[in-house]
Structure 1
Amino acid sequence: MKETLVRFSVAIGGELLRLFDDYRERHRYPNRSEAVRGLMRSALIDEAVCDEETDAMGVVTLIYDHHSSRISKRLTDIQHEHLEMVVTTTHVHLDAARCLEVILLRGKAAAVRNLSDDLIGTKGVETGRLVLAAASAVVDGQGHAHGHGHAHPHPH
């Protein structure tokens, strides 16, 4: 069943409107409504993954010098200690010395953050970053918010 769209107005102007329109164009939203919906979804996802018990997906990116003392083995050992959370790993050679490793993790948000911190904090890692997202829909395609304490199916 398709939800009815509700129109509401937002009064903004000046610099905030100019910055918002620039944002909309940079991110290629076709109109302001789509941009507002995108920002709302993003805020709801950010809020959902603040809950330590939320099922989450994490993308960890690491850059390191593979000549650094046993770093590859240390990173592999950490991942082997958490096989239930490691979905996949991709390793790319950036140049003669440096490597990029991308590790996809799945688990409770707190556990994903902890494992990510262990990987990023490994001696020899030059830089690391975690991008965290809710593993299940926070807002489905019908605009219905999830994460409200119970699960239920939706006809689509």
Structure 2
Amino acid sequence: MQRVTLTIDDDLLAAIDAHGARHGYASRSEAVRDMLRASLGGTAAPAVGAQTGHCHATLSYLYDHEKRELARRLTQVQHGHHDLAVASLHVHLDHDTCLEVAVLRGPTAEVKALADSVTTQRGVRYGHLHILPEGDAKSQPEGNGKPAKHRHTHDHGHEHPHPHKSRSQARKAD
């Protein structure tokens, strides 16, 4: 770890101290490191800033559901990137506004491209992509460029069905 000396004005230092106290940081250094990570996209890890590597992400956005053809366009964009989607949440905030939150996983460049495709649609009022790197060896890409598949290394008394098959189809295949 490197030691860096910064010169900042009193008001900014007071804001940093207030932020640190509000969030319970043990030191200014910890508070400043987290603020820098957030400013740099969630982490200082090269895989997040680069167009390579895999990540986990959340994409949240507000949109006007009355905007002509917007819901259809958003659905088309999402179906075009179905392999990145893990889960999504749709909330009707009021008569005109919807909030969607999508949990994504995949190549960082593809996740960013999907987010850009969604948030630049006319009628999307606000969008934010929060990226976290895939950090452990279990989730690093296999030979096909996709994250390694989830594997159990212990027996906990039940089986897990194949994610793309119904339970009855999974039992028949076994």
Normalised to the residue count of structure 1, the TM-score between the two structures is 0.67
Q: Secondary structure at the match of 2:66?
A: coil
2:21 to 5, 25, 30: 25
Report the counterpart of residue 46 of structure 1 in structure 2: 44
Structure 1 unaligned residues grouped into runs of 5+: 1-5, 138-156
Are the equivalent residues in 1 in contact too, given 2:55–2:107 (CA < 8 A)? yes
Q: Check if 1:92 corresponds to 2:88.
A: no
Identity %: 34
Instruction: Find the aligned partners of 1:80 and 1:104 in 2 and give their Cα distance.
Output: 14
Report the counterpart of residue 81 of structure 2 in structure 1: 82
Q: Secondary structure at the match of 1:122?
A: coil
Are the equivalent residues in 1 in contact too, given 2:20–2:31 (CA < 8 A)? yes
Structure with the bigger RCO (C-alpha within 8 Å, sep 6+) is 1
Instruction: Find the aligned partners of 1:65 and 1:39 in 2 and give their Cα distance.
Output: 32
Instruction: Find the aligned partners of 2:100 and 2:62 in 1 and give their Cα distance.
Output: 6
Normalised to the residue count of structure 2, the TM-score between the two structures is 0.61
Structure 1 pair 66/50, CA: closer, same or farther in 2 (3 Å)? same
Question: Pairwise CA RMSD of aligned residues?
Answer: 2.9
User: Of Structure 1 and Structure 2, which has the larger fraction of its residues in helix?
Assistant: 2
Shift of 1:84: 1.0
Shift of 1:46: 3.4
Structure 1 pair 72/31, CA: closer, same or farther in 2 (3 Å)? same
1:58-110 Cα offsets, whole Å, 9 max, x none, are 21111111111122121111111111101111100010111011111111211
Letter in 2 for 1:99: C
Structure 2 unaligned residues grouped into runs of 5+: 137-174
Are the equivalent residues in 1 in contact too, given 2:58–2:130 (CA < 8 A)? yes
Instruction: Find the aligned partners of 1:115 and 1:136 in 2 and give their Cα distance.
Output: 21
Instruction: Find the aligned partners of 2:96 and 2:16 in 1 and give their Cα distance.
Output: 42
| Stretches (4+) displaced over 6 A | 8-14
Question: Mean alpha-carbon deviation: is it higher for 29-38 or for 89-98?
Answer: 29-38
Structure 1 pair 84/123, CA: closer, same or farther in 2 (3 Å)? same
Shift of 1:56: 1.2
